[in-house]
Amino acid sequence: MLLDPLFDTRPAARDLPQPAPASGVEDALPAILTTPARLTHLQRLEAESIHIMREVAAQFHKPVMLYSVGKDSSVLLHLAMKAFYPSKPPFPLLHVDTTWKFREMIEFRDRMAQDLGLDLTVHINRDGVRQGIGPVSHGSAVHTDVMKTQALKQALDAHGFDAAFGGARRDEEKSRAKERIFSFRTATHRWEPKNQRPELWNLYQGRIHKGESIRVFPLSNWTELDIWQYIHQEAIPVVPLYFAKPRPVVERDGTLIMVDDDRLPLKPGEVPEMAWVRFRTLGCYPLTGAVRSTAATLPEIIREMLLSTGSERQGRVIDQDAAASMEAKKQEGYF
Amino acid sequence: MLTDLDPIATAPADAAPSDAANEVQVYLARQNGKDLLRFITCGSVDDGKSTLIGRLLYDCKCLFEDQLASLEADSGRFGTTGAGQLDLALLVDGLAAEREQGITIDVAYRFFTTERRKFIVADTPGHEQYTRNMVTGASTADAAVLLVDARKGVLTQTRRHSTIVSLLGVRHVVLAVNKMDAVGWSRETFERIAADYRVFAQRIGIDEVTCIPVSALTGDNVTKPSDAMGWYGGPTLLGHLESVDAAAEEKLGAFRMAVQWVNRPNQDFRGFCGTVAGGALRVGDEVAILPGGRTSRVARIVTMDGDLETAQPGQAVTLVLADEVDASRGDMIAAATGRPEVADQFAAHVVWMDEQPLLPGRSYLLRAGTATVGAQVTELKHAINVNTQEHAAAKHLDLNDVGFCNLALDRPIPFDAYADSRETGSFILIDRLTNATAGCGMIRFGLRRASNIHRHASKLDKAARAGGLQKPCVLWFTGLSGSGKSSVADRLEQELHRLGRRTMILDGDNVRHGLNRDLGFTDEDRVENIRRVAEVSKLMVDAGLIVLVSFISPFREERRMARSLVEEGEFLEIFMDTPLEVCEARDPKGLYRKARAGQLPHFTGIDSAYEPPDAPEIMLKGAEQTADEMVAQVIGELRRREVI
């Protein structure tokens, strides 16, 4: 079981001063009765995200949740299970598979959908596959555009989804920091950063014309630390790639690339070495840099993150193309 | 972040468990105990607002090496601070256009943590043209940091920002007097600006103001006390933000929850999902479902983590009630004792956010909580000049204008005064055609007069009054001046009369001689003109008549409003689709000539827009068909629809 190392630490941790666990409102009852109780930071974030998800379920005809299999998606999925309990989330999951994801991501994806009994749709850009598009042969920009952005638009159009949840956070990147929680997209999926709808109080406004859509970001106000803290508190399963272990990697331009299958052509003299590594962020394996680490449990990961001097997107090759690359990609319809 | 963990990482072995797990547990426990303060920063273009936020992030060590590296690169490309200096503003101005122009256009949200607290900063633009973006940021802020340039003092924009902060009910206001380095750290300058501001703030109802002299460029008094300003004995900016009261004041004291979604996984479970907007709730409490007013008791408070005994403000919950009462999205569940007001009219401050002006009488969608209803401004009492705070008469509100108005809704909704609750006292206005969020409002008080006028139900209905001769309805002719509306309506009425039907004709020009003689031709007056005619035609439909209305009625929205007054099938829109050139060539009243000569402002088709119908019931080609053909076409359509 994935989270065994974490569970092992819990009994010991009980002796320590503990935050009120999420399920412990009853335990904390006397406090609630005598003083005006205050929600913790994470409880506030959780409630805000649930509120947003319920708004989407109520306002749209055909919402979908983009499931990218990463840690943010894991949190998103967990929140969706909470938001509609005891019902199942009233929307399917959609994974845009570039065919270059880590194998462990695909296994994890299928298992999660099965365990939770959710409807999962996988979309692959078949045109791109026919043309042999890939990150190694065509570079990150072309690959991302064809296999992610275009593929996403194909899937949204094909199913007629009018709202799509994504797990993006405002602390990830500068143009994300400017984006609304309900983010309007034109019928051609374009984002107009200079003409966004004002978004006031908790009144999320999702009225659209036919063909237009809204991208919804329930995790907008979460930080990377909040995500890990919540995964820890709620014991949410995440892909094992986040945990360090010996993996075959090659070093290119200072980035450690994992040799996940035999599609990664090795350069002359390049020999994969087994190194203790893990991933802070997950994507297409040839575009995702690993970090050297021995952090094999959640607490170790959190500790490592707190002491880190690099941001999580550092490992993403695609963000380093140009200063405004994310903004440009988002305008084209990228999540 | 580093600072946060260091004490543990370096703690002696006997003080803390040594392994990562326990260390992190202790750390997380401390993180979880922290609360959250949301604040906005506002200032004009070069007050140094983005630099200040950059400074906070930088000094709180919330920047990573790769971010610093790209900041160094960007400082060289776009920076305005000179060679070799980091331009901290570039950390926050995220859009390409912002970096190129060196201004903030839209709200940016930033996150940082200190030993004491977590912060979300909304960096809002200072330009008047982006006021709506500032309002967006202010709507969720607990505190506001207003920046002024020490060299310039309190300026118009400072007053504008303060007015908005006051309107949006931001409780804590900090005046950060920036660029103190540029005035030789002068105490006198600071105290003069602070005194000026306090007088002003009090006048507009901001009670709590803290003034702090800072330099975002050097960091003085931002996170560390200033050596250069030894004369200042107050807190640093960060120190102050760490200590202000973050918890929203609970003024209502009574439970409120708007129903977002009804949860029905099976026949045996029916839960009402929502976020607690005020007051605490306990299982067994008596609640009312509003606006209906039925009451029940709370049987369960359901969450995936288990049922709760109580729920508190901010929590997202699912309520199960003891009785089979009907509630759906748009309803509010509230404490049975201590209910909100329920009315279909109220007075509110409105901030307008759309390029299309707000016109009194025009119908918008109003969203309050989870309820969406039709609404119109019935009276624009005054506009507030956000720069001078003066009240002025206004006929409409333009983009970024603020007004105080009465609103009337299609049906009653539950609400509280904004001063008592941001969640249940706020609303947005949505343009029905573009779906834009066109405005926002803060409710001041409900209007009672609506509740004292009761409809009188009469014994006879319109079918009885029509005496079996016809199905009463409105035939609404719309089209340009000179398109032939009046002449076709006239002939049609004669034909209907010949067929023994009861009719009445309302003609634009004639009505303007009487009922509407007080109205001109501005957009506001045109809206009111149509509203009155629509109401009169509705009365005539009730009288059992076929009403022929012949009005240019250039705006789709007003025709839609007229349609909404009568029942389904009682409104037939007849579009006189005659090209402008033809109408202008005819010019039966010589009006086009006058308009072209500039003697007739606001003339439809010339300098005022005509919005053609999207789907009229009947379309007449005024340039191609003869009058008899058009009359015959309408008569045929009336027979087909069994009007006659």
DSSP state of A311: -
- How confident is the model over A192-204, as a mean pLDDT? 88
pLDDT of residue B77: 63
* B74 CB within 8 Å of a chain A CB: yes
Superfamily of domain B341-450: Translation factors (2.40.30.10)
CATH class for domain B34-243? alpha beta
pLDDT at B71 over 80: no
pLDDT of residue A176: 78
Residues of A in contact with B17 (CB under 8 A): 12, 16
| B518 backbone dihedrals φ, ψ, rounded to 5° | -80, 0
Range from A11-20, B236-245, B360-369 carrying the lowest mean pLDDT? A11-20
Mean pLDDT of chain B: 86
Q: How many CB atoms lie within 10 A of CB A26?
A: 13
H/E element holding B560?
Answer: helix B556-565
**What is the spatial distance between Cα B367 and Cα B356, in angstroms, rounded to a whole number?**
19
What's the pLDDT band for A267 if we cut at 50, 70, 90?
confident
pLDDT at A13 over 50: no
H/E element holding B363?
Answer: strand B363-368
* B107 CB within 8 Å of a chain A CB: yes
**What is the spatial distance between Cα A222 and Cα A200, in angstroms, rounded to a whole number?**
18
Has B421 been annotated as catalytic?
Answer: no
CB–CB contact B20 A297 (8 Å): yes
CB–CB contact A40 B33 (8 Å): yes
pLDDT of residue B395: 92
Mean pLDDT of chain A: 82
**What is the spatial distance between Cα A62 and Cα A64, in angstroms, rounded to a whole number?**
7
* A260 CB within 8 Å of a chain B CB: no
Strand partners, A316: A288
CA distance A68 to chain B (A): 24
For the segment B449-508, what is each residue's pLDDT rounded down to a tens digit? Answer: 554 454 565 677 888 888 888 899 999 999 999 999 999 999 999 999 888 899 999 988
**What is the spatial distance between Cα A74 and Cα A100, in angstroms, rounded to a whole number?**
20
CATH class for domain B256-335? mainly beta
pLDDT at B112 over 70: yes
**What is the spatial distance between Cα B351 and Cα B373, in angstroms, rounded to a whole number?**
19
Structure tokens at A172: 């990830």
pLDDT of residue A14: 32
Sheet containing B618-620: order of strands: B503-507, B546-550, B473-478, B571-576, B618-620
pLDDT of residue B375: 94
Residues of B in contact with A232 (CB under 8 A): 24, 28
ipTM over 0.90: no
| A258 backbone dihedrals φ, ψ, rounded to 5° | -80, 135
What's the pLDDT band for B98 if we cut at 50, 70, 90?
low
**What is the spatial distance between Cα B599 and Cα B591, in angstroms, rounded to a whole number?**
9
CA distance A271 to chain B (A): 28
For the segment A275-301, what is each residue's pLDDT rounded down to a tens digit? Answer: 999 998 898 888 889 999 999 999 888
CB–CB contact A314 B316 (8 Å): no
Structure tokens at B171: 């409780």
Total-model pTM = 0.77
**Residue B110: which of A16, A177, A220 has the nearest Cβ?**
A177
pLDDT at B2 over 60: no
* B104 CB within 8 Å of a chain A CB: no
Angle separating helix axes B20-33 and B2-9, nearest 10 degrees: 130
What's the pLDDT band for A85 if we cut at 50, 70, 90?
very high
- How confident is the model over A53-70, as a mean pLDDT? 96
**3-class DSSP state for residue A15?**
coil
Percentage of chain A beyond pLDDT 90 is: 51
**3-class DSSP state for residue B544?**
coil
| B326 backbone dihedrals φ, ψ, rounded to 5° | -90, 125
Residues of B in contact with A236 (CB under 8 A): none
For the segment B339-354, what is each residue's pLDDT rounded down to a tens digit? Answer: 999 999 999 999 999 9
Cα separation values, A31 from A28, A38, B219, B252, B310, Å: 6, 10, 41, 21, 11
Percentage of chain A beyond pLDDT 70 is: 83
Range from A235-239, B103-107, B316-320 carrying the lowest mean pLDDT? B103-107
pLDDT at A34 over 50: no
pLDDT of residue A315: 54
The domains of chain A, with CATH numbers, are 41-225 (3.40.50.620), 238-320 (no CATH)
Asked if residue B130 lies in contact with residue B161, where contact means CB atoms within 8 angstroms, the answer is: no
**What is the spatial distance between Cα A264 and Cα A286, in angstroms, rounded to a whole number?**
7
Range from A140-154, B6-20, B377-391, B560-574 carrying the lowest mean pLDDT? B6-20
Question: Which CATH fold would you assign to the domain B462-640?
Answer: Rossmann fold (3.40.50)
- Number of residues in chain A: 335
pLDDT of residue B6: 37
Tell me the three-class secondary structure of B475-542, residue by residue: EEEECCCCCCHHHHHHHHHHHHHHCCCCEEEEEHHHHHHCCCCCCCCCHHHHHHHHHHHHHHHHHHHH
pLDDT of residue B447: 87
- How confident is the model over A169-195, as a mean pLDDT? 85
CB–CB contact B304 A82 (8 Å): yes
pLDDT at A3 over 50: no
Catalytic residue among B50, B328, B553, B608: B553
What's the pLDDT band for B286 if we cut at 50, 70, 90?
very high
- The residue with greater pLDDT, B162 or B448, is B162
pLDDT at A26 over 70: no
* B436 CB within 8 Å of a chain A CB: yes
Q: Are strands A255-258 and B546-550 parallel, antiparallel or unpaired?
A: unpaired
Residues of A in contact with B140 (CB under 8 A): 200-202
Structure tokens at B208: 């709590």
B389, B390, B386: which is closest to B400 by C-alpha? B386
Tell me the three-class secondary structure of A62-131, residue by residue: CEEEECCCCHHHHHHHHHHHHHHCCCCCCCCEEEECCCCECHHHHHHHHHHHHHHCCCEEEECCHHHHHC
Residues of B in contact with A295 (CB under 8 A): 20
Instruction: Return all residues near B199 (Cβ < 8 A) that are at least 6 apart.
Output: none
**Residue A310: which of B65, B261, B280 has the nearest Cβ?**
B65
**What is the spatial distance between Cα B240 and Cα B246, in angstroms, rounded to a whole number?**
12
CA distance B455 to chain A (A): 33
What's the pLDDT band for A245 if we cut at 50, 70, 90?
very high
* Domain limits, CATH 2.40.30.10, in chain B: 256-335, 341-450
Asked if residue A183 lies in contact with residue B107, where contact means CB atoms within 8 angstroms, the answer is: no
Structure tokens at B541: 């439909």
What's the pLDDT band for A25 if we cut at 50, 70, 90?
very low
**What is the spatial distance between Cα B35 and Cα B52, in angstroms, rounded to a whole number?**
22
What's the pLDDT band for B600 if we cut at 50, 70, 90?
confident
* A19 CB within 8 Å of a chain B CB: yes
- Number of residues in chain B: 644
